[in-house]
Structure 1
């Protein structure tokens, strides 16, 4: 009796992909995939009797969503606790925000500086707190030539939060008398709702646990009272950081090519080049190894450090391309010596 053909939904649950294939489809190193599983239990792959992990199409889809959301600044710890449907909803929300940023609300609005004659990307600020607008709106307005623009001020009540539908901001500036753990979740929700890059908080009282939780999410904290110049300096320093990393990411193509060699292949290739009088092959192999290690380290930081996710994404890309360049240099030296160059794909075939 022949078996009924599986549906697409059933096929998606069949464990079919090894760790290396799953990591390649998600565009992360295998080392990062293992870190995500060990620390956060992001997926539960099937294990064969030999210990080989196998991933289904549904596992890969979930990993892709998590990687995309981590790249947009969401914490891996939070994402790991969400089911795949919730991850997709969050991704859809992020896509909608991005589409607004790219068109509907003129997010790349430029503000001309009368003094310098230069153009600045606008820095849209959401003010949060009963007295936030009273304390900070005039100070923010004085930086209008630098692109600072208050897009909305809310007192923090549920009704005022409902008024944020369609509002897009780059920074949430909250002025609150006290911070609690529920405040952390609330501020992060507001940040996500308006698509903000960062939270800047002025507060009266908070425990070290609460301030630590906000620091872990990349928030900038100032204990009240804080002088306006100090607060504005913090804001502009944050903006310079965003712009610097954004410029770097625009100039580094993504993704970098996958590694051509593992440690055994590298060692074998160097040993096969005895005619090279200098030690260049050894030095190139050493650089390939170090850059590969830094590439994995940056990917790990990208998943563990939501405060600096864009910076580590940039470092991960740069390290990957530098590693690929050094691999090409080593291959060129080997070919000049007439030595065939194997790669990992050939070695595992």
Structure 2
């Protein structure tokens, strides 16, 4: 779809925008000339070239106008205002909201945000509702952003992965405490990819279909949100691992009097579940045919692992066990 680039990113012909959004060329022209929805760059030959933000806006205008908003009333709104309206619209109509809490998502990369916000993608999520709280152009913008509504998941689309990129992402996670971070990339060395996976990130290489991306997102969601909340876990998203294998091994070796071998058994279960969680994630990466099954298995094992981590915390508090990394 890309034709050229500007200082703000790639530029697209109106025909390419029409194909991507499903909006007729004639409608895009009306929205531009009559309602001032877009301000495309024009070549010397008077050809319109649209930015990525224009594609994002077109997708949201199509969605909101289809839900009853007059195009004359919303065409002049900024992209961020349209995104807020879209989130409110989904919340206001129960028939549009699947079972469970909305999954709040911060997206780095406008092209990825366009995919996430399309109706086709939302339909692929089946029971879950996505609420895009923040859309950032790139990692630099994300590093400087103030997230007023704390997103649960950070979804990053980046062309090339390098060690400094990994460091930037880690700093971002430390600052904002995302429950899960998913990185979609085009090019990277195996060493960097493995380092990112080892640090708890979910890393996938393009090309990735909308259905595969939907399965990837579903793999980080609690299977039974209501039951999870009963056991002290809030939110729809499974948190990343709290304890390393070293910490779990240390806890498993501690003898206690009151709870017999409960710390040992729970620590061993967490370690086994975490291993199967990672195994299921790798299967999800490799096998597109069985993606739904492996997304479910990853979600099941991750949900159980997170609940048992909460159980281990209760046991540790009762027994006076120090769960801090590196504690003796």
Q: Shorter-chain TM-score: what band?
A: 0.3 to 0.5
Higher helix share: 1
Larger RCO of the pair (alpha carbons < 8 Å, separation 6+): 1
Question: TM-score, structure 1 length as denominator?
Answer: 0.41
Pick the structure with greater CA Rg: 1
